[in-house]
Amino acid sequence: MNHKLKIILGASMLALGAAQPAMAGPLKLKPIMDARLRYEGVDQAGLAKDADALTMRMRSGVEATGGDFSFLVEAEGTLALSEKYNSGVNGKAAYPIVADPENVELSRIQLQYKGLPKTVITLGRQRINLDDQRFVGSVAWRQNEQTFDAARIEWSGIKNVKADVTYAWSQRTIWGVEGTGARQQAISGDNIFANLSYKLKVGTITGFAYIVDQDEAAVTYLAQPFSMSSQTFGGRAAFSLPLSKAVKLNLLASYARQSDYHRSRIDYSADYWLGEIGFSAKGFTVTGGYEVLGADASATNKVSGAAVVASLQTPLATLHKFNGWADKFLVTPPNGLRDAYGSIGYTLPKVGKMGPLGLLLSYHRYDSDRLSIDYGSEWNAQATLKINKRLSALVKYADYEADIFATDTKKLWAQLDYAL
């Protein structure tokens, strides 16, 4: 546990002890437990072996609530039942990467206070998901989720308005206790996440500012010759409009401008665009969208003055949610990325005594933001089933066909989840 976290939690416990009158009510204990068994197979061109990863993830902990305060502690562990894969930190370079290393760690430890009107204050190691997680998320798809050592304030004192501000001094990555070098367990820095949203009858409008200041050189210079320190300002609007009793129109639009900040050694700026339209009716959903992560061909190295090409990056995002499940664009290529995509889904409420059953098929076409480079294309398919109140199953497939970016890759997942 780092020094700042010890100070914050120590102060929090003193405050908790001084607030006994606010905790006069009965102490309630809520257990936390969820388990996940997953198989992930990867066939990637250019590598000698296929990955066959069978992993088990367990999270367990407790949340104690009394009056206006709650205290949560949660441990997380991942065991590789079959380690025929490159976890990113196990040195098995002949296999494709499956980013689920063996791990045991303190995933969350937080103190929360709700004693002020329309205000929630959370201190400590916590899960943070903002908007659609395009810029800040918990990476829940991976066995070891991403958390943050942070102080967060959420305020909703004006009707339909919510302000959400976080200062985070450490990003606890998916690489776990054995993370090192370019894939460290934690990345320190001074990060500020600020959201201001207004809720309408048909949707939500949000303005955001994300200041990312990472100070780990081994990480920030891994993929491109500049650090991931940046400042991003933008907004998004998400609407759901009823066209009839059975049909809804779903609209999503977002724009942001990102530029260098503090420790970044590159002077750059790049745009983010997203436009999406969808229809839902009688269990079916049809969606089409276009996302642009821009590039800057006029960027310069602040140290040498040399001209470079830089692109918009989202290092704190839940990246698996975006640009295809084959995970070929976790780092935006220097020439940027344009992702044209479409999907069709269907949800069946019941399958015997089980359900719902969800089916999804999607397609992506990837190109560069500049120079008109054809990167490749990808098909994704998924089926999910709620077996009972606590148990669910998933089967998922990704097929990336490269033109000139990365290599052909096929991935298959089969998964069981159990949660209290």
Distance separating the N- and C-terminal Cα atoms of the chain:
28
What is the pLDDT, as a whole number, of residue 303? 85
Which pLDDT value is given to residue 7?
A: 47
For residue 292, the model assigns a pLDDT of 98
Q: What is the pLDDT of residue 221?
A: 46
Query: Which of 232, 231, 401, 399 lies closest to 326, judged by CA?
Result: 399
How far is the CA of 285 from the CAs of 132, 243, 281, 308, 310, in angstroms?
18, 14, 7, 42, 36
Which residues pair with residue 267 across a beta bridge?
300
pTM comes to 0.91
Give the tens place of pLDDT for each residue, 150-198: 999 999 999 999 999 999 999 999 999 989 888 999 999 999 999 999 9
pLDDT computed for residue 210 by the predictor: 98
What backbone torsions phi and psi does residue 20 show, to the nearest 5 degrees?
Answer: -55, -40
The pLDDT of residue 181 is 84
pLDDT digits (tens, 9 = 90+) for 11-33: 444 445 544 455 556 899 999 99
Q: What are the per-10-residue average pLDDT scores of the chain (420 residues)?
A: 49 47 73 97 97 98 96 97 96 96 96 96 98 97 97 97 98 93 90 98 97 77 60 98 95 97 91 98 97 96 90 95 98 96 97 96 98 97 97 98 97 97
What the chain holds in terms of domains, given with CATH numbers, is 3-20+36-419 (2.40.160.10)
**What is the pLDDT at residue 11?**
44
Report residue 48 as tokens: 């000698």
**Phi/psi at 27 (5° precision):** -80, 125
Residues 6+ apart with CB under 8 A from 269: 257, 258, 259, 260, 296
Compute the half-sphere exposure of residue 389: CA atoms within 13 Å on the CB side of its CA. Answer: 1
Q: How far is CA 121 from CA 70, 107, 115, in A?
A: 10, 19, 9
Model pLDDT, residue 15: 44
Give the span between the Cα atoms of 274 and 296, in whole angstroms. Answer: 18
